[in-house]
Chain A
């Protein structure tokens, strides 16, 4: 177990593994997303209240889930990197931030496109949407903080600390926004997000979420490889590797 773990955090091993795993993840991701698309767009029956507009759930909810999952993963990597000084974990956190930001943006976009026909407005101050917006701002802040440093080691440390501050703050933000939202919502029942889901509507959602997660894993691993090369450019393994593969890539 310990050996297995160390192979994941040692840069050359991670570099090598990342390639293999990325390919497998990507294949599985594409397969499950395609099946889920067919299931969600064709097989699943229309919702009795929302009609076909409810199908937006198949891309909205997975993006929302991934936006939070990516942050948790980034914070976890930052924690590991700070405490055990694994440089590879810093590389993983670096590449996750923009990916997480894209998923957050997708969640906001699809949420807005869902809100327009359901609520009649492009932006409803719904609790979930509001906290996703704050999450996006925190992702962007993380990226800006990283870019403000010239030295890699300092950028890593500061960004990791900021990611952990975010972990403490995000739940507080989330619950305060929920509380704020329930205060003025009163009688209007939230129409979005809570159609009573049956199994024939639910399985494509589950599969799509799994597909998104596999996809996230694949692209994170792919980007991590580049980041590792760039960070470890002075080491022997990168030298040998670049010498062998020069011209191939």
Chain B
């Protein structure tokens, strides 16, 4: 039963993704634009760019995800699909979780494909690619799942800004650990501890946020 539900979900996701008229490109564009704007704000010398790079990559990445998060539930909430989905499902919690993961993958893959471009724009060594990729993936999952939960909580509010204001203060630890990964890997130091820390945080958020999502939706769908 769950399998067929999931099949429907994946089909729906794929249809929405392919019909979105290139909307998946918007976060990618924002990602590049933030990097450009940061860079034109300073004298772009290598050492200065390298010093800024960890923070710029992380801020650009999270802001782009924020753009994608806005569509997490809102469209389906407004046209009633979400209500149907939760009403008819036997295990709504798992369904929600699958959707969060699918959307997360669809959002970060284009951004991560741009990562080499971002690294070279900021004149960092390409050796940071793998560690940064892992850190961005783990850190973005924390951000994404928390963001999905907070979006569910603020569904009835039409202004997308509110969710961002609730979510961004909670991104502080992710940016601290994540930027450190980029910085240390650029200096050739080991970063496995920090990456594990981010993975730990994403497991923590995975265990807590589905409940918040569910509660938020039930409250807003009443």
Contact = CB atoms under 8 A, between A and B. Distances in A.
**Physical contact A–B (CB less than 8 Å):** yes
Interface of A: 134, 137-138, 140-141, 144-145, 148-149, 154, 157-158, 161-162, 165, 168-169, 172-173, 176-177, 179-180, 183
A173 B212 contact: no
A145 B156 contact: no
A165 B156 contact: no
Contacts of B220: 154
Contact of A172 (B149, B162, B201): B201
A141 B157 contact: no
B169 A145 contact: no
Given A145-B154, A149-B156, A154-B156, A173 B177 contact: no
Contact of A141 (B166, B173, B222): B166
Given A137-B169, A145-B154, A149-B156, A177 B176 contact: yes
A161 B162 contact: no
18 contacts: A137-B165, A140-B165, A141-B169, A144-B165, A144-B166, A148-B156, A148-B157, A148-B162, A154-B220, A158-B153, A161-B212, A161-B216, A162-B150, A165-B212, A177-B176, A179-B176, A180-B176, A183-B180
B29 interface: no
A172 B175 CA distance: 12
Contacts of B157: 148-149
A173 B166 contact: no
Given A154-B219, A158-B154, A180-B176, 10 more contacts: A138-B170, A140-B165, A144-B162, A144-B166, A145-B154, A145-B162, A148-B157, A154-B220, A173-B170, A183-B180
Contact of B173 (A137, A140, A173): A173
B164 to A, nearest CB: 10
Contacts of A179: 176
Contacts of B149: 165
Chain B contact residues: helix, strand, loop or mixed: helix
Nearest to B197: A176
B208 interface: yes
Nearest to A156: B219
B215 interface: yes
Nearest to B211: A161
Contacts of A158: 153-154, 216, 219
Given A145-B162, A162-B153, A176 B177 contact: yes
B156 A134 contact: no
A180 B173 CA distance: 9
Contacts of A149: 156-157
A141 B170 CA distance: 11
B103 to A, nearest CB: 20
Contacts of B172: 134, 173, 176-177
Nearest to A173: B172
A138 B172 CA distance: 12
A44 B163 CA distance: 47
Nearest to A178: B176
A168 B173 CA distance: 12
Give the residue among A138, A140, A154, A172 with the most B Cβ atoms within 10 A.
A172
B209 to A, nearest CB: 9
B219 A157 contact: yes
